[in-house]
Amino acid sequence: MHNADYMEIDGRLAFVETWPGGRPAVLCVHTAGQSGVQYRHVADGLAALGFGVVVADLPGHGRSEPAPGGPVSDLSWYAGWCMRLMAALELERPYLLGCSIGGSIALDIATRMPGGLSGVVALDPSGVLPSDDGPPRPPALEDSASPSMRDRTYFGTIEACGRSVPAERAELIAQMHCREDWHITVSDIHGALTHDIREALAAITCPVRILTGEDDFFVPPSRVRRIAGLVPHAAFELMPGIGHYPMEEIPDFAERFDRWVKDFDAAGGLDGAAP
């Protein structure tokens, strides 16, 4: 049975949805400025395949209260928050599924939990490596910084969807994305540009699959390939016709996730444990 409720983490309320299942839970982590609504179609599909599913809104996103210190510009802080969420839910060896900053957060968590995860699927991770253009300026959180955030989000999302995505589906994705708070989004993006965990990637022991949409212009596929090359035993996949939001763009995403997990098991089990 699907459950949607609030949990107190760090003294603030977080909105968390859960689905029970006989297979390990999948913790789904959303993109910058967005919320767990991005997994609205995927969660039921994963649950139908027997996975437990956890979809949470990060602090300040969606229905969750802000972090105690306000907007967060540190993806590693989000990683710690997700680990506290997993501990509160008593998740045992979950899978991590994240897109954009969510993919980077998932990889960050994996560096800290050797032996504690069943595997990671990172879609278009937008952090991990520092900005190719040098250190970014601190986020300017004034109204003048983003005079038309809704338009930027709407048209940016339309453009970020892959060429294989029907126009009607891309339009719906873009409309759903326009509910963000630009204070949060700007801080998230700054966090992605400053998230440098290259030296920690060698500590990852669980199976990892890193994927990128061929049509993603937010995070160049060449950058994602570089990230995959730094993660021990990571599999890399380029998805033709897909953009920056695979879990929203691909109708059979849950079934694909199931195949990736079966590849993990075929390659040697769950992070050193017997399958």
What distances in angstroms separate CA 177 from CA 33, 86, 145, 180, one per listed residue?
Answer: 9, 26, 19, 7
Phi, psi dihedral angles at 153 (to 5 degrees): -65, -45
What's the whole-number average pLDDT of the chain?
A: 92
For residues 115-133, give the mean pLDDT: 89
pLDDT in tens, 36-45: 999 999 999 9
Per-residue pLDDT, 136: 67
pLDDT, average across residues 124-133: 82
Question: Domain limits of the chain?
Answer: 3-266
Which CATH number, 3.90.1150.10, 3.30.565.10, 3.40.50.1820, 3.90.1070.10, labels domain 3-266?
3.40.50.1820
Spatial CA neighbour of 24 closest among 55, 50, 57, 56: 50
The mean pLDDT value for 131-142 works out to 64
Beta bridge partners of 3: 18
pLDDT at residue 14 tops 70: yes
Selection from 7, 211, 207 nearest residue 117 by Cα: 207
271: region left, alpha or beta (phi > 0 left; psi from -120 to 50 alpha): left
Nearest to 256 by CA among 237, 234, 272: 237
Q: Does residue 75 carry a pLDDT above 50? A: yes
Adjacency order of strands within the sheet including 3-9: 3-9, 12-19, 51-56, 23-29, 95-99, 119-123, 208-213, 235-239
- Token look-up 């983490």 returns 9
Does this model's pTM top 0.85? My answer is yes
pLDDT in tens, 245-256: 999 999 999 999
Over residues 179-236, the pLDDT tens digits come to 888 889 989 999 999 999 999 999 999 999 999 999 998 999 999 999 999 998 999 9
Say whether pLDDT at 145 is over 60: no
CA distance 158 to 165: 10
Q: Supply the Cα-derived Rg of the chain in whole angstroms.
A: 17
76 neighbors 127 (Cβ within 8 angstroms)? no
Residue type, 6: Y
pLDDT of residue 67: 96
The pLDDT of residue 63 is above 60: yes
Q: Over 50: is that where the pLDDT of 237 sits?
A: yes
Percent of the chain having pLDDT more than 90? 83
pLDDT, residue 141, reads: 53
